Homo-oligomer: A and B are copies of this chain.
Amino acid sequence: MAEGHSQNISSGQALLYLTDEQLRQGIEAMFFAYRGFTADPDRILEGLSYGRAHHRAIHFIHCAPGTTVNNLLAILGVTKQSLNRVLRTLIEDGLVKSHVGRIDKRERHLTLTEAGEALEQQLSDAQRARMRDAYRKAGPEAVAGFKTVLEAMMDDEMKRAYVALRDGR
């Protein structure tokens, strides 16, 4: 493949961070870091017969209370049937409440109950603790770089969702 060699010798040192080796390292760092990133919430959810999908739903309902199923679908990038199964158990277990829309009765608006908020706190405390440690170790400049690269790595759609969430608070 023509893309294989990204080492542009002629431009010297400046592009050294774009070598295939460097990129491969970045790929592996991303893989291992993501494992660490999800490890703590996974451990908490393990005993509760919930999984990562439940965590994601809870996280985004917490961030955007009153959001509709369709809305959540777009953010999570799964089919509505898949999300529905997760939501059903969360509603049955009294962690999420679903309200029929006043303006459009087809819509269901989702919010966390008190128990839901409590679990969200527990999960996000664990995840933030790891994040905080990593940030502290790395320092503010590294954190800025971290975010810059992550944003550049997103699909455009995802970036829109991310920016909307980020700036909407």
Contact = CB atoms under 8 A, between A and B. Distances in A.
A128 B36 contact: no
Nearest to A161: B32
This protein's copies in its complex? 2
Contacts of A141: 141, 145
Contacts of A129: 3
Interface string A22-49: 1111111111111111010000000000
A27 to B, nearest CB: 6
A98 to B, nearest CB: 23
Most chain B CB inside 10 Å of its own CB: which residue of A6, A63, A144, A146: A146
B128 A20 contact: yes
Interface in A136-165: 136-155, 158-159, 161-162, 165
Contact of A135 (B24, B26, B131): B26
Interface residues of A, number: 71
A36 B154 contact: yes
5 contacts: A17-B140, A27-B37, A29-B162, A33-B151, A133-B152
Given A27-B127, A28-B63, A146-B146, 15 more contacts: A1-B125, A17-B135, A17-B143, A22-B135, A27-B59, A28-B162, A31-B56, A32-B159, A32-B161, A33-B150, A35-B77, A139-B148, A142-B144, A142-B149, A145-B148
Interface of A: 1, 3-4, 6, 14, 16-18, 20-37, 39, 56, 59, 63, 77, 121-122, 124-125, 127-155, 158-159, 161-162, 165-166, 169
